[in-house]
Structure 1
């Protein structure tokens, strides 16, 4: 995986091109996740917000420099949040503790990240209905955590080489736990069991769920390819799609020897299997941008509560912020 050096720590201190800023804000942040923000010079009206958590041994600056989301934000006027893991040992995200796997539990990295979203929405009058998340490896794991624990915040997510929500859960509920069984593909469940794990993160929630996109290489040497199938089982069940068989299969999409599987008549889950690709699957910003509809700046842009398996039954619901 890619490495990066430490980041500056002053309020609104420029650390790259005078635009990436570290924010010190007063909101619940139980694990002290670092808050880095990219706000382009020209924002679209009520701009969307993209959250981009980094990989293990990375940091906010590494993913900022290692992806093109900042330049895309310049072009389309959205805001990017680059959270920074507080885990100094390996800079992996907490995807194992009871706190991070629970909705507003009072603990865990996920709560700090969600409160960054709330702060950004308020500060910049951003569109609370157009909040998205994408990441690679540990960032993909956190993407699934945020989609599972905070379905009332995120409209969609894209996870590159991740694992299902709750797969890394520590037996003792602790943070910074490396779950070797999950990493090697030994944690498997039925779709119904995976659904119960997600539902336990937010007991009683029966509202709209974000759409999900997952990617995995068949030769992944860090997080076994088995996790791809488990993600599909989890999200098809959580989203109430018809079984785990795809409604549509497209070969060589978006690249040669990659296969795209579309689930449900609304296509609320897309799963991409990359033949012979290792864990270094990379960011594919163009695919994620299309999934999030982030190139849309006016009119009927995709947003929270729009479409999905439950159709119009939840039209009166609104996102959290």
Structure 2
């Protein structure tokens, strides 16, 4: 799931163009972290009151620094006053995230997921952050981790945005960082009820707010096959109690050839015609989904969202 050299060059150019008020800083002691995930944080000089927090897990073969440089969320944080966190995978073989272990797929169970959530909890306390406005977005393995965090920690996150990922639990295996060829190639097919049951098992007895989520996938993705978009749609519409029939379909959004399918207000899916695994991130769409340009009262948050249960 390595992003192309072309995107790496573009990412570097974007980073050099950023004029930042602060710097990426490593935090070494932030709470329970059984897998030794590394934490990097960007705190703008001018934070908004009760700042939101955005988590940006990197892709396979990437690093926290790559995600920091390759996405504009630090400079957007400067502009809108939110904090961004960039976890770094402990899996030095390929830098992919642990999205397979029972520990990560269980609420407070351990794995990479708990290490990342510990970062969020630390930052909320340290900077007086808004616990109702915590978000996560990632591409490829980072998208897979986005699905994991939304599923295992619905009590922590308000929303997610996953770019070229797979459903929660699709990679489930007895081990950390296990590659599932069947999942990657879209061979694991379930109905919505079955997918929702996997999410429910991550946090037995939980019956409260569920984060909203948007998912994106290219039709020419030959790393994580496009069938995974269909499976994500079945999973999250079932989890959120939505019909699997879109309430609206909008072509050429946000780019020509992309189609947005909305399922009410808490889930949307984008199909990018002709796009490979190197799907180009659209930060403006993510910012709008999270309502991260909003300051003060009336912003999207867990309080303004919907209480749903699987």
Shift of 1:165: 0.1
Indicate if the aligned counterparts of 2:164 and 2:224 stay in contact, CA closer than 8 A: yes
In the other structure, the counterpart of 2:214 is: 213
Indicate if the aligned counterparts of 1:241 and 1:309 stay in contact, CA closer than 8 A: no
> Pick from 286, 289, 301: which aligns with 1:288?
286
Indicate if the aligned counterparts of 1:54 and 1:138 stay in contact, CA closer than 8 A: yes
Matches of 1:40 and 1:108, distance apart in 2: 29
1:124 aligns with 2:127: yes
Number of positions where the alignment pairs a residue of Structure 1 with one of Structure 2 = 294
In the other structure, the counterpart of 2:13 is: none
Matches of 2:22 and 2:91, distance apart in 1: 26
1:94 and 1:149, CA in 2 relative to 1: closer, same or farther beyond 3 A?
A: same
1:119-178 CA-to-partner distances (Å, cap 9, x unmatched) read 0000000000000000000000000000000000000000000000000111xx201100
1:30 aligns with 2:34: yes
Shift of 1:282: 2.6
In the other structure, the counterpart of 2:183 is: 182
Indicate if the aligned counterparts of 1:136 and 1:282 stay in contact, CA closer than 8 A: no
Indicate if the aligned counterparts of 1:155 and 1:305 stay in contact, CA closer than 8 A: no
In the other structure, the counterpart of 1:94 is: 98
User: Runs of 4 or more off by more than 3 Å in structure 1?
Assistant: none
In the other structure, the counterpart of 2:147 is: 144
Matches of 2:305 and 2:74, distance apart in 1: 28
Q: Residue 22 of structure 1: SS of its match in structure 2?
A: strand
Shift of 1:283: 1.9
Shift of 1:26: 4.3
TM-score in terms of structure 1 length: 0.89
Shift of 1:309: 6.3
Q: Residue 177 of structure 1: SS of its match in structure 2?
A: coil
Shift of 1:298: 1.8
**Which structure 2 residues correspond to residues 295-310 of structure 1 after superposition, within 5 A?**
295-308=293-306, 310=308
In the other structure, the counterpart of 1:104 is: 108
In the other structure, the counterpart of 1:198 is: 199
TM-score in terms of structure 2 length: 0.92
> Pick from 14, 19, 23: which aligns with 2:23?
19
Matches of 2:84 and 2:68, distance apart in 1: 9
**Structure 2, unaligned stretches of length 5 or more?**
9-19
Shift of 1:236: 0.3
Q: Residue 50 of structure 2: SS of its match in structure 1?
A: coil
In the other structure, the counterpart of 2:12 is: none
- Higher helix proportion (structure 1 or 2): 2
In the other structure, the counterpart of 2:66 is: 62
In the other structure, the counterpart of 1:165 is: 168
**Structure 1, unaligned stretches of length 5 or more?**
5-15, 314-321
Q: Residue 140 of structure 1: SS of its match in structure 2?
A: helix
Matches of 2:55 and 2:78, distance apart in 1: 15
In the other structure, the counterpart of 1:79 is: 83
RMSD value over aligned CA atoms? 1.5
Matches of 1:44 and 1:218, distance apart in 2: 39
